Chains A and B, each alone.
Chain A
Amino acid sequence: MVKEKENSKFPPLVDGKSQYDLTSGKYLRVWQGPQHPGITGNMSLELTICGDEIIDCKTHVGYLHRGFEKLMERRKYIQCFPVVCRICVPEPDFNEYLFAACTEELAGIQIPERAEWIRTLNLEMARLTSFLMWIGGQAGSFGMGTIGQWTVTLRDYMLDLFEELTGGRIYHMYMLPGGVRADFPPGWINKLLDTLKTVEKTLDDVELAMMHNAVFKMRAKGLGIITPDMVDKYGITGPNARAAGVARDIRKDSPYLVYDKLDFEIVTGTKSDAYGRCEVRIKEMYQSIDLIRQIVEKMPKEGPFFTKLPNVLHWRIPAGHTYKRAECTRGEYGFYVQSDGSDKPRRTYVRGPSYTHAVALMEHLAIRTNIADTAGLMVSLHTYPPEIER
């Protein structure tokens, strides 16, 4: 926070709240979103500005509430499987994986080894695909639309791969309790490796055009600084925390699936501002590409990918509860599932990382930034509102 100076145009803070008087004519309240292109998804910011600087920010969510957690209370476990992916549109796979993993743990099911490798491959592909979409937003919000066009095309190439593997481009509905739904189609792995080469090549171009761009540097450096002491206070996870030097990555800290068999290091930065977070994310994209290549090389080439389940139409899961988490592109994604022994989950709670990043943290970071930078700031936190409102 900028230190209060005398003669500041900013109103005084009392108990952390800005004391401004709207009737003075000095301040203006504007809404950004929910349809503003600078807002990631359907949420809105209620900004109070003084000139072009923000003195207060309130976040509003609720435009996208579909009640998934409640819907699942009335659906059998297998019927929840097509529902969960819709919780997060750009990166649905983590929902599929975590719901399946929770169900499997509660039911005491061990999936085949190959299914674990395929799931890991799928999650890393999902991370890469999600990051490719994020670059589009990040570059676009600072006026570099060209880069966004490149990466959205790459994302489409990744979606082609998903389509061929799973039968769906956006909602893959591939990882279900018991394993995965199908094996790789013929020639798919080669196509995947070719696509990775294309992505890698373009990423090199992106790095050059974006990370070494004077305009981008000027605007992104120092924007929305997250200090290491804020990390626990705000519940910050993922690249937002790692850019601040906090080496936290669930894939390393409590490895799930086959991450303990893969060779990688946690990517960290030294300063978590919009630029620093960007750097970490781009490094993580290269990391994902490397992990996918490792998986393809190390995974068993043959074997079952699905384990027999009890009849899913009347599958009852023993009473119990569990929390499973995984490292998605935005941080810790978690599913809490409670079973009362019936054929439907009694309670499902979804922890989306965007909840902490897009609401309280955004309100804090937005203050005293320029209104033109709000969009860039918000994208740099990489939030997806659908998972805020489950």
Chain B
Amino acid sequence: MSLKDIIAPFSVWKRALEKPYTNRKPIETRPGADRYRGFHQNAIDQCIGCGTCEEICQNNAIDLVPLEGKTSSHGDSGLRPKIDYGRCCWCALCVDICPTGSLGMSNEYIWITTDPEDFRFIPGGESKPWDDRAEGYRRAEGYDLLEAERVEMPMLSFEESQKSFIEMVQGYSKEQAMEEADRCVACGICIATCPAHMDVPAYIEAIRNDDMGEGLKIVYNANPLPASCGRVCSHACEYVCAMKHKGEAISIRWLKRYIIDQIYLGDYKEILKSADESNGKKIAVIGSGPGGLSAAYYLRLLGYEITVFDANEKAGGMLRYGIPEYRLPYEQVDKDVEYIRQLGVTINQDLKIGVDRDFKSLYDEYDAIFFSTGLKDPYGLEIAGEDLPGVQSGLDILDEVTKGKTPDIGKSVVVVGGGNVAMDAARTSRRYGAEVTILYRRREVDMPADEEEIHESQGEGCKLVTQAIPLRVEKGDSTRLKLFFGMAEMVDQGEGQRPKPVLIEGSEEVIECDSVITAIGQEADYSFIPEEIGKNLVFNRGMVQINEFRQTGDSKIFAGGDIANRKRDAISAIADGHSAAKGIDIYLTNFKEK
């Protein structure tokens, strides 16, 4: 103890002269820091209600609830997060993981109310003073809990691909598939959009668990043609994927393909459920495309005896005869078809109803009929010179190639059309060494073909001319044909209507070519249905009218696929087949003939 020890404590007095630390106006609110994790904000229109915030919340403070004025639509569940601030721990993991980036936190932390229920609300859905606050917690640049970019798919280079019919997409390895499957947030937004409502998150989880058998079961629950669909599905699911809001959608289609590629056809029987015992009822299915095969598969599982009638040499319909091998190898169609055949479905090939067999006899012999005969008759261009040799339809070219013939297209080809058939015909022509020009009457953004088809066709050297309207075809001088076309301008048709291409007078141009391939759409042929039965069916703009169970005006006849479904893709046809199977089962179980 020293004198210093007695005196030193008095040094505290010198601080009496200093400015006080404390706030002189305690009533004044102090704003939170710029990054403060305060009450939530949600950009309600940007949010898709995927529920990833709910999934990561460790306190179960977030609940996805319906919000007035929001309805569910493709890519939006219609639900919005409701946050219980009695449970919220303000960790902001929900903000970090939000795939759309709609969720954030304001820097507001003071809010006084006497009703405890007030502390449970839908941010953005119920107006709060901090809704527009710029300050608050946001996920920082350089920190991310999700991977925005997809695992790149190994593909043949364009130099190689345009020389052969080898499958262009080479498929994921196990590591790649698992990495891609890992990106999925399992929100299930895709399930509602998939026409067949496939349980996508469940089979992606099976990939993560490396359980291919489980994956196959889940896939077959809603889709009996996965080897084909895993390659050429129009993947509506990927357009609504929550991850697409962040970057690239999950490669759902390629992941489905990965599962199928891992399992030999011979092992399917052990994994998948077998057909119920026969119930003695017989169903005729006309057409062996995706719709017909899907109906046949699900009806067979229920114990019905199925006979499929098909006009072609091999089953698969447009999957086989309309899609080139570089996109969908025939052995993959075989794999799908073969399993359905193994299940006990009889498929009669080379048998055209209306020619080789009478529709009426089927109607009398079978308990129900499902027909999914597709669109086969191509539309004509309706221009002069259309009947000259060298003008052919895209579908015919694709059909010939499938049958092993070399199409007579010459050295230069003009393809007219902007859909997938046009792209297929153009790229097939490239593979036969032709110079290809694609003419489309609207803009590139209006093209109905898949984005990647357009991209790949250009990559392989097909020249695209948009806003071009064919005028007439004439005999060529050095080449077989000359195609005259005019340029079009897009004329606005008012709100909700797509702009219409209108020919610019005097803008005529000419291309010399050996072939003009038309691919501007096709229509159905119902001539096989006799008048007495056909009068009960209702047709609307070339399509058969059906109810939700795909039942036509004649209660015994069901229909699906392109002839009844405006989406006109394989997966919609598969969904139709599945629904029709349910419909036929309900019809045959519950309704007796009067």
- Distance in angstroms from B110 CB to nearest chain A CB is 14
Residues 167-226 of A at the B interface (beta carbon under 8 Å):
167-168, 171, 173, 179-183, 185, 205, 208-209, 212-215, 217-218
If A78-B93, A82-B93, A153-B21 touch, whether A311 touches B9 (CB-CB below 8 Å) is no
Q: Is there contact, CB below 8 Å, between A167 and B184?
A: no
- Choose from A168, A185, A212, A305 the contact partner of B4 (Cβ within 8 Å): A212
Q: Is A81 an interface residue (CB 8 A)?
A: yes
Residues of A within 8 A of B140 (CB): 181-183
Residues of A within 8 A of B146 (CB): 311
If A205-B12, A208-B8, A304-B142 touch, whether A79 touches B58 (CB-CB below 8 Å) is yes
Most interface-central of A76, A182, A218 (chain B CB within 10 A): A182
Residues of A within 8 A of B58 (CB): 75-76, 79-80, 82-83
Q: Is there contact, CB below 8 Å, between B34 and A183?
A: no
Q: How many residues of B contact A (CB 8 A)?
A: 44
Q: Is A230 an interface residue (CB 8 A)?
A: no
Q: Is B55 an interface residue (CB 8 A)?
A: yes
- What separation, in Å, do the CA atoms of A164 and B36 have in the docked complex? 7
- What separation, in Å, do the CA atoms of A164 and B186 have in the docked complex? 34
Q: Which residue of A lies closest to B140 (CB)?
A: A182
Q: Is B523 an interface residue (CB 8 A)?
A: no
| Contacts between chains A and B (CB distance < 8 A), count | 114
- What separation, in Å, do the CA atoms of A209 and B137 have in the docked complex? 41
Q: Is there contact, CB below 8 Å, between B145 and A78?
A: yes
Q: Is there contact, CB below 8 Å, between B35 and A185?
A: yes
Q: Is there contact, CB below 8 Å, between A163 and B93?
A: no
Q: Is there contact, CB below 8 Å, between B8 and A306?
A: no
Q: Is B182 an interface residue (CB 8 A)?
A: yes
Q: Is there contact, CB below 8 Å, between B90 and A168?
A: yes
Q: Is there contact, CB below 8 Å, between B91 and A163?
A: no
Residues of B within 8 A of A182 (CB): 35, 140, 143
Q: Is there contact, CB below 8 Å, between A313 and B37?
A: no
- Distance in angstroms from A69 CB to nearest chain B CB is 15
Residues of A within 8 A of B105 (CB): 167
Q: Is A354 an interface residue (CB 8 A)?
A: no
- What separation, in Å, do the CA atoms of A181 and B138 have in the docked complex? 11
Q: Is B480 an interface residue (CB 8 A)?
A: no
- Choose from B11, B91, B97, B145 the contact partner of A205 (Cβ within 8 Å): B11
- What separation, in Å, do the CA atoms of A180 and B35 have in the docked complex? 14
- Distance in angstroms from B57 CB to nearest chain A CB is 8
Q: Which residue of A lies closest to B6 (CB)?
A: A214
Q: Is B300 an interface residue (CB 8 A)?
A: no
- What separation, in Å, do the CA atoms of A347 and B292 have in the docked complex? 54
Q: Is there contact, CB below 8 Å, between A305 and B142?
A: yes
- Choose from B1, B9, B56, B89 the contact partner of A78 (Cβ within 8 Å): B56
Residues of A within 8 A of B91 (CB): 81-82, 171, 173
Q: Is B405 an interface residue (CB 8 A)?
A: no
Most interface-central of B9, B137, B146 (chain A CB within 10 A): B9
Most interface-central of B1, B4, B15, B93 (chain A CB within 10 A): B93
Residues 33-59 of B at the A interface (beta carbon under 8 Å):
33-37, 52, 55-56, 58
Q: Is A19 an interface residue (CB 8 A)?
A: no
Q: Is there contact, CB below 8 Å, between B147 and A311?
A: yes
Residues of A within 8 A of B12 (CB): 146-147, 205, 209
Q: Is B5 an interface residue (CB 8 A)?
A: yes
Q: Is B92 an interface residue (CB 8 A)?
A: yes
If A167-B37, A205-B11 touch, whether A313 touches B55 (CB-CB below 8 Å) is yes
Q: Is B66 an interface residue (CB 8 A)?
A: no
- Distance in angstroms from A259 CB to nearest chain B CB is 24
Q: Is there contact, CB below 8 Å, between B142 and A306?
A: yes
Q: Is A372 an interface residue (CB 8 A)?
A: no
Q: Is B369 an interface residue (CB 8 A)?
A: no
- What separation, in Å, do the CA atoms of A82 and B37 have in the docked complex? 13
Q: Is A360 an interface residue (CB 8 A)?
A: no
Q: Is A310 an interface residue (CB 8 A)?
A: yes
Residues of A within 8 A of B5 (CB): 212-214, 217
Q: Is there contact, CB below 8 Å, between B8 and A167?
A: no
Q: Which residue of A lies closest to B20 (CB)?
A: A153
Q: Is B80 an interface residue (CB 8 A)?
A: no
- What separation, in Å, do the CA atoms of A217 and B15 have in the docked complex? 22
Q: Is there contact, CB below 8 Å, between A314 and B208?
A: yes
With A82-B93, A180-B143, A311-B147 given, can you name 4 additional A-B contacts, CB distance below 8 Å? A80-B58, A167-B36, A311-B184, A314-B186
Give the A-binding residues of B (Cβ under 8 A).
1, 4-6, 8-9, 11-12, 15, 21-22, 32-37, 52, 55-56, 58, 89-93, 96-97, 105, 137, 140, 142-147, 182-186, 205, 208
A-B complex: 6 closest residue pairs judged by Cβ atoms = A82-B91, A79-B58, A182-B140, A212-B8, A214-B5, A167-B35
Give the B-binding residues of A (Cβ under 8 A).
75-76, 78-83, 86, 146-147, 150, 153, 160, 163-168, 171, 173, 179-183, 185, 205, 208-209, 212-215, 217-218, 304-306, 308-314
What are 20 A-to-B residue pairs whose CB atoms are below 8 Å? A81-B91, A82-B89, A82-B93, A163-B33, A163-B36, A165-B35, A181-B140, A205-B12, A205-B15, A209-B8, A209-B12, A213-B5, A214-B9, A308-B147, A311-B145, A311-B146, A311-B182, A312-B97, A313-B52, A313-B186
